[in-house]
Each structure stands twice: as structure tokens, then as C-alpha cells.
Chain A
Amino acid sequence: MDHTANVMDRTEALLIEQAAQGDAESFARLYDIHVKRVYRYIFYRVSDISVAEDLTQEVFLRGWKALPKFRKVSNKPFVGWLLTIAHNLVIDHYRSRRMESTLEDDIMTADTATDPQQMAAVGMEQKRLQEAIRQLRPEQQQVIILRFIEGFEYSEIAALLGKKEGAIRVIQHRALKGLKQILDKDTGQ
């Protein structure tokens, strides 16, 4: 690990420690550091700005409440832990929406509600892939996003999900197979 990363990690540890003791301002600084990454993770999965904003806000509020629990599990990277909360919220979001509509409707709604500038940045091919990922099982989605989109190591993902590294590689294999099937089906192959 380079020196800068090391310093930042120590700074983060200090902020976490202070926040866990009830210092709201320290937690606000953690928010400053990680808000963009959490937002990006959620946006990638919901493709809706207002939903991404609401869920991002909720992630940090839940993070604050659950901070004492996080401190007991020292092997998890803090941002990864936040993304796990984000993952659960995204699942809850789709569950609640499924009460009113189908998943396909969700995707259609998400497309039409998306900001054109942001979607242009995503790119059509990636967009198709993004939609396909959203159709995977939640755990598979999480592994694919954490590994390929967010760039976490297998060991980190394993720590975040409370599984062994071997299990993560199995999930990744199944997820890629599932993804291939979804994409082939879309293109009529």
C-alpha cells in the first residue's frame, strides 16, 4: 500500500473512531469522502437520479446508526461496508416497487427517468450490460459490481459478504453464466 493510501486509511480510522464516540462532524467527513462512490454504486443499479439520491442519503443515516457494529468487524473496508448497506437498500427498493409493478416496468421507468447527460456518459453498451446485471440474483449482482465495477479484491468481497473467497469465485462464475444467458436472450441468440 502506498504512503498516501496508508495516511488516508489512518485518517479514516481516526474519523471512524471519533464518529463511533458520537462525533457527528467526523461522520460528516466520512460522508464527504465516500458519498460519490456510494451514489455511483446505487445509480449503477437503479438508473434513477432521485432514487439514487434518496437511497444514498439513507445509506449514511443507517451507517451512522450501525457504526458501533462496524467497529467490531475490523477486517471490512469502510466503503465496502457502506456499499453493503447500499446493496440491501437497493434490494428493499425493488421489493417495494415490485408490489406495484413488474421488474420490467421498473427498468422502463428507470430509463425514462434518467438524466440524458448522465446516461450519455454510461454508454449504450455498458447500459445494456447494466440492465442485464440488474436482472441477476441480488448476491450475484453484488459480487459482479464489487469485483468489476468497484474493483474490490476477492478477499475484501469475502469479508464484506461474510463468505469464503472460494464461495465468491463460485458466485462470480454463476453470475457470468447468468449474464451471458440474459444478453444472448436479448439479442435473440
Chain B
Amino acid sequence: MSAKKEDILARCIEDVKSGRSSVEDCLKQYPRLSDELEPLLKLAVTIKPAPEVSPTAAFISRARSRLLADIHAQQPVTKNLRVRYTLMKAPLLSQRRFKMAAIVIVIALIVASTGGGTAYASQDALPGDILYPEKTFIESSRLFFASSDQTESETHLQIADNRIDELARLPAERSRFVERLMESYQHHIQQGLDSAEKYINQGGNASGLLNRFQERMVYHQGELNASCNRLQVEARHIVRVALNASGEGLENANRLMVSAHLENAVRHMAQVNEKARTGKIDEVSGLLHNYERELDSMITAANQTEDAVALLEGSRERLRIAFDQIPETIPEEASDAIENARLRTMHGLDKAIESSGSGKKLGKTWEEFKFEWGAFMNQSQGEVEPGSVEWQNAWQNFELEWEQFMYQWQGNTSGPAEWQYAWEEHNKGQHDSGKNSSPAQR
């Protein structure tokens, strides 16, 4: 009986709210329950939809940027690049809001004009399929309405991903489309990196974005290699060209990563400067910690590039200027910490430049060696790390940290005073690899 009462109340509320009947009409229908129903029904009618209380436009924009930053921060990163971005710069609010609304409308129009499910189905379309033009149109729309250089860069990368996926799934009889696919792939990688560079130049933190480029492009190269073996002979050359372009793109992403960390470090130093000058000493050490973390990441990133020395030397000058801008009049408790950071920076960069400069000159790389002697060498030499360099008939990995290098100083098993001496040209030929080695100090 009780359940029925609740159903009656629900029905009456619905009738009154929809205007099908009045409170009095309902009560007349259920005279036995009218005493109980009346106050509840009248109360229910007074509860109205919430008025248009809206969040501020600034909050909407800020929270959106924060949401994207948090999402990206949760995504996995490679072991080598530890720093992930924590702050993303939002573009002008009105522009973003307009563009986001517009892209929803565009997608909605596409969905409406093609009968709904086709837009979804086109996601898997391949060149030569009826739905493929729709797929590329959606991609172009997303690029057109990209709300920032960062979004644009990410969209280009997603599209490049699509091309690689399509190549992997392309049937052999559609090889005529390979050239167009690979042109599109190279275009989007190039454009994506250009947008990332613009984002860095505007003061955005692009390390997370570039991290994704690095990860995806390593994956692309694996896929392109695999496709080479599968495709018809005439298409292989085209894929090899794209493979080279992908290699160059990865190198560019590595270089941009150095710029991204450098800009972050400079930004932290500018904050250190400001806090120190305004007497907020307690905030200085935290900022210096952030600065040094970026510095370490920058050196790691530079060592992954072919022109590490030039990049590190340029960075050293930039940081020297940043330190020079800090006035001598700042309080002593801050100036000591800043001076220590400056000394560590210059010393660390000098050492990094020294080791990058000499280490790679000592011999052939494993990749060059393998190219000359054939892949069978891989087995006879055992496991060799990518990037290793031949030296004294042994393979040494100069890409790794110094302490991982096994070393023996001829006639002096205690090793050199510092690892960096091992890379000096005049010591060439006096060293050999051996199991008893260890540095006297690191």
C-alpha cells in the first residue's frame, strides 16, 4: 500500500509539472490521500530548476588547462626523460571557447550530414575506402579549430599516427597510395614539431608534448621498418625516405626537448630572481630545486642529440646571462644558495660538454660497424647497447652514465682521478676495458 502512495505522488508531481493537471485536480482524484499528498505536492511544485548560475569564464579556461595538464602528467613517459610538464599556458579565453564550441558543431554537422554512424566508422577507413575522405576532413577540421599551438602540435602527431596505422593495415594491392600516405606523414611530423617550437617560443612548457613525439616516433620507425618488408618493391623506397625523415624528426624533437628544458630552467631562474629581490627567501630553495631538475633533464636530453656540444654551449651562455641578471644586493641567505647553483651549473655543463665532445670521437659507432660488417657481428659480439662506440677492440657505451663504464688504467688499477680524463685525446691508447677498474673518484 505504501509503495502505491509513492507512485501516486510521483504521478501527480509529473502531471502538475507538465501542466496536464492542477494540484487540486490531483487531490480530487485521490481524496483518501489528499491530506498527506497536498503539502508534499505543493512543496514539490516550488522546487524549480536551478537558476543560471555559471562559473566564471576565467575559471572554465583555467580548469580546462589544468585538466589537460593533469591528464598528460598521468600518461607514461620514457625512463630517460624524467621531467614531465606541470603547467600549460592557456590561449585567449574567447578564442578557445569559440573554437571548442565550433569544433563540436563541425563534428555534429558531419555526423548529421552523413547519417550518423559514418563519422565513427570512418575512423578505421583506409586510402581507397569510400569513407576515407571523411576521415581526412575530420582531421583537417580538428587542425583548423585547434585552440593553441600545443593542441595543433598534438593533433598533427595524432594524424601522423593515423598514417602509420593506415600504412600497417594497407593491403598490398593498394600500394599506389603509399606515396601519398608517406607524404602526409612527413608533413604532419614536420608541422607538429614546428607548432611545438612555436609553443616553446611563447613560453609554454613543451617537455611532455615532446616526450610524446619521441615515444611515438620511435614506434613509427619500428612500424615503417616492418612495412618495408611487407610492401611491394617499388613502395619500399618511398617508405625508406619516410623512415629517414622520421629519424630527422626524432633528432629535431630531441633538440627541441633541450630548448624546452632550457626555457623551463630560465623561467625558474627568473622566479628565483624575483623572489630573492622581493625578500621571499623561503621560496627560493624550492625554485632552485626545480631549476636544477630542469638543468639535469636538459643535459640528459642534449646527450641524446648529435650536436650535444653546440646545444650545451649555447645553453651555458643563456644560463650565464640568467644568473648575471640577479643583482648583488639580494639578501645573503639567498645569494649563497644562488651562487652555489651557478657554480654547479657551470661546472656540470663544462663536464657535460667535455665528455660529449671527446667520447664520440674515439671510434666507430656500433651502427656504423654493423653496416660495414653485416648483422652477423651482433651475435659474435654479444649484446651491444645501441649507440656504443668501438674503442681498443671493445665496445663502450658512452651514452650511459660515466660510472657504468668498465675501465682499467694501464699500470695503475686505481683508475684516473676523474672519469672525464678517460675521454681526453692525449690519453687515447693508454686505456683498456677490464673488470678490475673503478674510478678514484666520480
Interface residues of A (CB under 8 A from B): 3, 6-8, 10-11, 13-15, 17, 22-25, 27-29, 31-33, 35-36, 39-41, 43-44, 52-53, 56-57, 60-61, 64-65, 118, 121-123, 125-126, 129, 144, 148-151, 154, 166, 169-170, 172-173, 176-177, 179-180, 183
Measured CA separation A173–B130 after assembly (Å): 55
B: number of interface residues (CB 8 Å): 51
The answer to whether B112 touches A7, judged by C-beta atoms less than 8 angstroms apart, is yes
User: Which residues from chain B contact A151 at a C-beta distance below 8 Å?
Assistant: 49
**Does B343 have its Cβ within 8 Å of any Cβ on chain A?**
no
Interface membership of chain B positions 36-76, coded 1 if the CB is closer than 8 angstroms to chain A and 0 otherwise = 00011001101111111111000110011011101110110
The answer to whether B44 touches A176, judged by C-beta atoms less than 8 angstroms apart, is yes
The answer to whether A7 touches B104, judged by C-beta atoms less than 8 angstroms apart, is no
A129-B107 contact, Cβ under 8 Å, with A173-B6, A176-B9: no
A-B contact pairs, 27 of them (CB 8 A): A7-B111, A7-B116, A13-B120, A14-B119, A22-B75, A24-B154, A25-B154, A31-B63, A31-B64, A32-B64, A35-B60, A44-B53, A53-B63, A61-B67, A61-B70, A61-B71, A64-B71, A65-B74, A121-B52, A121-B53, A122-B53, A126-B48, A148-B49, A166-B7, A169-B3, A176-B9, A177-B40
Measured CA separation A6–B116 after assembly (Å): 9
Measured CA separation A35–B152 after assembly (Å): 23
The answer to whether A40 touches B158, judged by C-beta atoms less than 8 angstroms apart, is no
A180-B43 contact, Cβ under 8 Å, with A24-B68, A149-B50: yes
Q: Tell me how many residue pairs across A and B have CB atoms closer than 8 Å.
A: 146
The answer to whether A180 touches B39, judged by C-beta atoms less than 8 angstroms apart, is yes
User: Which residues from chain A contact B46 at a C-beta distance below 8 Å?
Assistant: 125, 129
Extra contacts, 9 of them, besides A13-B120, A14-B119, A172-B9 (Cβ < 8 A), are A7-B112, A10-B111, A14-B120, A28-B67, A36-B60, A39-B55, A57-B67, A149-B49, A173-B10
Measured CA separation A180–B37 after assembly (Å): 12
A148-B112 contact, Cβ under 8 Å, with A44-B53, A122-B53, A169-B6: no
Interface membership of chain B positions 95-122, coded 1 if the CB is closer than 8 angstroms to chain A and 0 otherwise = 0010011011001100110001101100
Rounded to whole Å, the gap between the CB of A133 and the closest CB of chain B is 8
Q: Enumerate the 5 nearest inter-chain pairs by beta-carbon distance, A residue then B residue, closest first.
A: A148-B47, A173-B6, A39-B55, A32-B100, A169-B10
A170-B71 contact, Cβ under 8 Å, with A29-B103, A180-B40: no
The answer to whether B151 touches A11, judged by C-beta atoms less than 8 angstroms apart, is no
